[in-house]
Structure 1
Amino acid sequence: MKFNLKTPWGRLLAWWYAMLFEHNFTNLIRFNFHRISEEAFRSSQPTMWQMRRMVKKHGIKTILNLKGANEKSAYWLFEREQCAKLGVTLVDVKIASRSIPDGGRIRRAKEVFESIEYPVWMHCKAGADRAGIYSTLYLHFRKGVPIEQTDQLRLWPYGHIRHSRAGKIDHYLAQFVAYRKEHPEAELLDWAENIADCDRIDKSFVAGGLASFINDYVLRRE
């Protein structure tokens, strides 16, 4: 569907679509906003009112949209418009929550955190899985926190269900932690690009049926 934000009717239609079909109404109930560090925050996809309030409150300079740019998304059109009005840089990075990342995706995350202006606010849809992945990588690459100490992929308070298919990232990172125990000098990016066998890691992960059903069909996570 194509949306036109330049007319009152077009804006109304887009607003209803974003709230109902893109599930933005759930963020009125569960915003899932958390501070990661003195310069970084994470959340579910904010409403435009929430965006204005938190940008002003925390002096946000960059919003990192982990759903990626999408001209067919009413929500994304509103987000792009709102960021322009607030003078905030919108960076769109499309990542997957249910697949093993290749080395290129890990490198992309590192490059993002090296190039953006802070403070940064990162969000996905629910603020549980993709936001958890990038929060983990932010702490590791930007702050030097060991992967096993990042603690951003948790059921409480973030809502990440590691036994669902979204737990592939936990399994992936656990492989790196295990490798580094035998090779203390190992770095995540080098391991991801040159050592990790993504196919083997993917096949060795077993998701729980009930956990995946809840995550995919009840919570309707992307």
Structure 2
Amino acid sequence: MTTWLNSLFVDHALLRIPWRNWGVVESGRLYRSNHPLPWQLAEAARRHGIRSVINLRGHRETCGSDALGREEAAKLGLVHADQPFESRGAPHKDRLLRLIQLYRSLPEPILIHCKSGADRTGLAAGVWHLIQGRDAATAAAELSLRHGHISAARTGILDAFFAAYAEAEARGLDFETWLATEYDENALRAGFRPQPVAAWFTDKVLRRE
């Protein structure tokens, strides 16, 4: 009971019952959502044949939603992997590389999720498009207001990440080469400026991780 109370009220899963924030990144291969409750994960597995889950929040020992999700994934026989990202920080190169490795090694279809399914999930969905050979504009479109992403806030640094690659793409550089040879997360962080009101809203009201 304590785990459920923590999930519903501390981790705000109560809000995720009516708001599923579901999305199809590539049918039959990759799907996205906010942090699923056990029956939501079971329904996704039944309807879409989900075989793997990538948790973009990482392992959180005191989070009820984390414990419930892991338990349900094990019950369903799903592969469960952790690859944490920040919603308001420049993506770390090593974490991006590991995400790509997970995409190429885990059984599909895969479900990716963070807490709200807006920012980190949008980043990971965009990376998926890029390693499939799609362009930066397609990747950046996964960071949308439809999924709750606010580009003017500190979470907009993720948009800046795709914009940085778009410049390299225009020079004919593929994503993985750019990531390995040119991407500079410190420069991205130093050059990004959020709008104060939007940053306050996402940080204090939405409490994005």
- TM class by shorter chain equals over 0.9
Residue 33 of structure 1 aligns with which residue? 22
Q: Give the match's secondary structure for 1:144.
A: coil
- In structure 2, distance between residues paired with 1:70 and 1:201: 27
Alignment partner of 1:99 is 2:98:
no
Q: Which amino acid aligns with 2:64?
A: A
Q: Deviations over 1:79-129 (max 9, x none)?
A: 111111111111111111111123222211211111111011111000000
**Does the 8 Å CA contact 1:102/1:193 hold for their aligned counterparts?**
no
Aligned to 1:5: none
Contact 1:66 1:95 in 2 (8 A): yes
In structure 2, relative to structure 1, the CA distance for the partners of 1:46 and 1:102 (3 Å cut) is closer
Structure 2 length as normaliser, TM-score?
0.94
Amino-acid identity (%)? 28
Worse-matched range after superposition: 15-24 or 211-220? 211-220
Checking the alignment, whether the CA contact within 8 Å between 1:102 and 1:192 is kept in structure 2 is: no
Higher mean C-alpha displacement, 172-181 vs 28-37: 172-181
Normalising by structure 1, we get a TM-score of: 0.89
Cα distance per residue 1:24-54 (max 9 Å; x no partner): 1110121101111112110111111211112
Contact kept in structure 2, 1:136 and 1:152, CA below 8 Å = yes
Q: Is the 8 A contact 1:104 1:193 kept in 2?
A: no
Q: Provide the C-alpha distance between the structure 2 equivalents of 1:192 and 1:177, rounded to a whole number of angstroms.
A: 12
Q: Is residue 146 of structure 1 aligned with residue 111 of structure 2?
A: no
1:194 paired residue number: 181
> Matched residues in 1 for 2:46 and 2:169: separation?
41
* Contact residue 106 and residue 189 of structure 1 kept, 8 A: no
Aligned with 2:104 (options 109, 114, 118): 114
Q: What is the root-mean-square deviation of aligned Cα atoms in Å?
A: 1.3
Alignment of 1:57 with 2:47, yes or no, is yes
The match for 2:197 is 210
Q: Determine if contact 2:150/2:156 at 8 Å carries over to the other structure.
A: yes
CA distance, structure 1, for counterparts of residue 79 and residue 92 of structure 2: 27
> Is the CA contact (8 Å cut-off) linking 2:55 and 2:82 kept in structure 1?
yes
Judge conservation of contact 2:125–2:142 (CA < 8 Å) in 1.
yes
Q: Which amino acid is the alignment partner of residue 187 of structure 2? A: R
Q: Could you give the per-residue CA deviations for residues 114-170 of structure 1, whole angstroms, max 9, x where no partner exists?
A: 1111011111000000100000011211x2211222320111x21110110011011
User: What SS does the corresponding residue of 1:60 show, helix, strand or coil?
Assistant: coil
Q: 1:176 aligns with which of 144, 160, 165?
A: 165
SS in 2 for 1:215: helix
Counterpart in 1 of 2:150? 161
CA–CA separation in structure 2 for the residues paired with 1:36 and 1:101? 20
Alignment of 1:118-129 (within 5 A): 118-129=108-119
1:15 and 2:22 correspond? no
Paired residue for 1:68? Answer: 58
CA contact (8 A) 2:83 2:95 kept: no
